[in-house]
Amino acid sequence: MSIEISPIGYINTPYKEKFAIPRQPGLVTAARGQIHFYQAFNSVDFIRGIEQFSHLWLIFQFHQTANKSTSPLVRPPRLGGNAKVGVFASRSTHRPNNLGMSAVKLEKIISEDGQQSLLISGMDLLDNTPIIDIKPYIPYSDSIPLAEAGYGQTRPQDSLVVKFSQAANEQLIIHQPQYPQLTVLIEQILGQDPRPAYHKNKPSERLYGVTLYNLNIQWRVDGKTCVVEHINKVQNEGLVP
């Protein structure tokens, strides 16, 4: 048996690569994304009444892992990247049908030149992720205060203090008009220490890089401090949102 599913649209986000995307939605509240609808769904009738809801469920496809083989066992980052659990006991991006689900905040409905779109925040989706469906978040039904979540019971705590070098601060001033939330966005993303588990708790002079919007953020870790060294524009114009 097979089921054919077509996306209703796609989302633009600051995350141009999988590295440094937050592990779960809602952890980086400064992140803003915009859902664009394909022509068949580009009508106000499809979103009529959606403004009544503060949050939405997004059903989407992990499109960069869609053609990769799936193992029944995965290594959740919350378990240090070593212990294995079944894929259905995880939120791994490597899944049999490559589908994901995230609760996000609806910031605004945008209607420009006949194109409908939704501005949302707090998402954990890669740029250009296909959106399969959208459903309103219903607090009394979707929130279960006494639910148990095993190794994911509590919200991960920020493990790094984020600081900016003089050069990075000067570059922030240049890019801030275009990206007003840039400072907070960087602090929230890097504060969670997005490095692979096997890089943590080890001394290293390594310079890491992550692309947000059309900017390359370069940073290093010194103990419990993350120092942002440079914020430079990516030369590849194809990355400009």
Q: Give CA–CA dist 188/214, Å, rounded.
A: 18
* Domains of the chain and any CATH numbers: 9-142 (2.40.30.70), 161-239 (3.30.2310.20)
Task: Give the pLDDT of residue 60.
Answer: 97
Q: Give CA–CA dist 47/118, Å, rounded.
A: 9
Task: Give the pLDDT of residue 66.
Answer: 64
Say which DSSP state 68 is in: S
Task: Give the pLDDT of residue 171.
Answer: 96
Q: Give CA–CA dist 38/59, Å, rounded.
A: 15
Tokens 């310079």 sit on residue: 207
* Tokens coding 18: 């999988």
Tell me the chain's radius of gyration from C-alpha atoms.
19
Task: Give the pLDDT of residue 158.
Answer: 67
Which residues of the chain fall below pLDDT 50? 237-241
Q: Give CA–CA dist 39/33, Å, rounded.
A: 19
Whole-prediction pTM: 0.89
Q: Give CA–CA dist 41/178, Å, rounded.
A: 30
